[in-house]
Amino acid sequence: MKAYIVATGFFEGLKPIVEHHPQPLFPLVDRPVIQHIVEGLVEINVKEIDFLLFHYPERLESFLGDGKRWGCSFKYHLLRNPDTAIEKLRTLPMPDDSSFLIGDATVIPDFKFLFNFFICDPIKLIESLPTIFTGKKRGDLGNESINWTGWAILNQPFIDEFLNEKGDDGCQKKLLQLYEEGSICNVTLDSIEIKSLSDFSVANNLILSKHFPFIMVSRPENDPGIWIARNVSIHPAVHFMPPLYIGENSQIGANTSIGPNVVIGSDCFLDENCSVKESWVFPGSYVGEGLDLKNSIIHHRTLVNLEIGTSFTVTDDFLLAPLRENPLKKWTKKLFGRFLAFIAFIAVSPIFLIIYFSLLIWEKKNPLFSKQYVRIPTEGTPETWKFVNVFSFIGGDDLKENSKRQELYYLFLRIIPGLINVIRGDISLVGLPLRTKQEILELPADWRSAYLKCKAGLFGETMAVHGFISNIDEQCACEMYYTVASGFWCDVNILKRYFFRALKNFIQ
């Protein structure tokens, strides 16, 4: 059987964390939500899985890969509208005579129950098609209303004939209506729903307390209720109160108190004298010395207090900060780029002086001016963004869109003076386009979030592929690609393609 998993990744109830981290990659104790689902599907012998993505699709595809590590085959489909996932199924190729499983990544069903349903009683499976799976609401034993989990067994003829509603809400209502009419079957099972930060905290607590027998922590307990992953550095003067989980490569400072109901993600650093209770720290986060956290969620600089329902961004690196990259490695890469820009500027300095004095005589004023752009990568709200003034010659922002030699003009008027900023360490040689605060705020939410996490540079993927004549979709696709593929050789390839384009246009 084939499965189609709807992993749109964005829900209002998960703000502000979901703005930086897609919901399927939320860590549910020791593994992301989507990994729990994939491993559950493998258990019921589902090896072909198609994912319908919307929010941060590049991150999900990068994490999941082609599926070979699970012995599966994965395919990906990008949704332009997250509310039309089921409707999208009509356009996907599938056999007319076979059934398939659809699932929602916000819900983890009881895969042990599905194992009995799929594997142990296949005759029942065949006779009960199509089938929707409804969830049990804990504490609502007297409630008879149907709560669809987003999981169902359907087939192409059924979708073509019965699911003719627009949008997922319409399809859901139609499925429940068909169930009430007796046209489809219903099976009730237990499940975990993660559509809000409250759901997320409750799910982690219940898994730590072993209330969900169908989801277990993948490693054995070090002590009852305490799971510590590999390569964790813990100071002897640390107090633990189970249940709690500490991810791999994390460091816990002296006199720190952790627990109960705490999940520390991988690659985290808790400084001395911290106190963490009823809280969840996302991977790659630093918690500063003496910080007292209770009933909170930490994602790098973002702190969410679940008790009072507030969130804010911490700009002080001594309180909360991301731990993404080795500082020495990052510094070395940046120093190399600055050195390369210095060599390039020395080589083109005669051209720089000719342009400068020519424009000085022609314009009768200093032709070198600066424009303010947002310094990226950055986090937080627009009020906390920092800015950088980038040099260019007069006329550098007034290139003619249809000019055959605009790459050459851009090189003379923007790139050559911009090398000064690269030498100073303000920007990189290769990266995403420089944008003002207003230009960033006008970007769609997904595009803006990805843009703010990458570096800015004089050369970019869009210029290398499309030059200056590109539409919004092409710009978005190129920038999203660069956020995933950026690296030394990717930057070298962009430089090479850009100069070949400029040379070609100059010859023509």
Q: Which of 54, 2, 68 is nearest to 447 (CA)?
A: 54
As given in the structure block, the two tokens for residue 22 are 């897609």
Assess whether pLDDT exceeds 80 at residue 11.
yes
Burial 231-247 (b: 16+ CB within 10 A, else e): ebebeeebebebbbbbb
- Rounded to the nearest 10°, the torsion over CA 434, 437, 441, 444 is 10
**Separation CA 410–CA 508 (nearest Å):** 17
pLDDT at 19: 84
Give residue 86's pLDDT band: very low, low, confident or very high (50, 70, 90). Answer: confident
Give the containing element (helix H, strand E) for 203.
helix 197-208
pLDDT digits (tens, 9 = 90+) for 398-415: 444 444 556 667 778 888
Give the containing element (helix H, strand E) for 176.
helix 167-181
Helix (H, G, I), strand (E, B) or coil at 80: coil
**Separation CA 42–CA 273 (nearest Å):** 43
pLDDT at 142: 41
pLDDT digits (tens, 9 = 90+) for 219-233: 889 899 999 999 999
Query: Between β-strands 99-104 and 2-7, what pairing exists: parallel, antiparallel or unpaired?
Result: parallel
Mean pLDDT on 147-171: 74
- Residues of the chain by 3-state class (helix, strand, coil), percent to 5: 40, 25, 35
**Separation CA 480–CA 381 (nearest Å):** 21
Assess whether pLDDT exceeds 90 at residue 132.
no
**Separation CA 273–CA 275 (nearest Å):** 7
pLDDT digits (tens, 9 = 90+) for 46-66: 989 999 998 888 889 889 999
Could you give all domains of the chain from N- to C-terminal order, each with its CATH number?
2-193 (3.90.550.10), 219-322 (2.160.10.10), 327-507 (no CATH)
Mean pLDDT on 186-205: 89
Q: Which distant-in-sequence residues (6+ apart) come within 8 Å of 31 by Cβ?
A: 39, 218
Q: Which of 110, 452, 428, 508 is nearest to 313 (CA)?
A: 452
As given in the structure block, the two tokens for residue 422 are 């690269």
Assess whether pLDDT exceeds 50 at residue 364.
yes
Express as a percent the part of the chain with pLDDT over 70: 87
pLDDT digits (tens, 9 = 90+) for 384-399: 788 999 998 865 454 4
Least confident of 2-6, 245-249, 398-402, 438-442: 398-402
Phi and psi at 10, nearest 5°, equal -130, 130
Assess whether pLDDT exceeds 70 at residue 494.
yes
Least confident of 68-82, 422-436, 471-485: 471-485
Mean pLDDT on 272-280: 94
Q: Is pLDDT larger for residue 340 or for residue 297?
A: 297
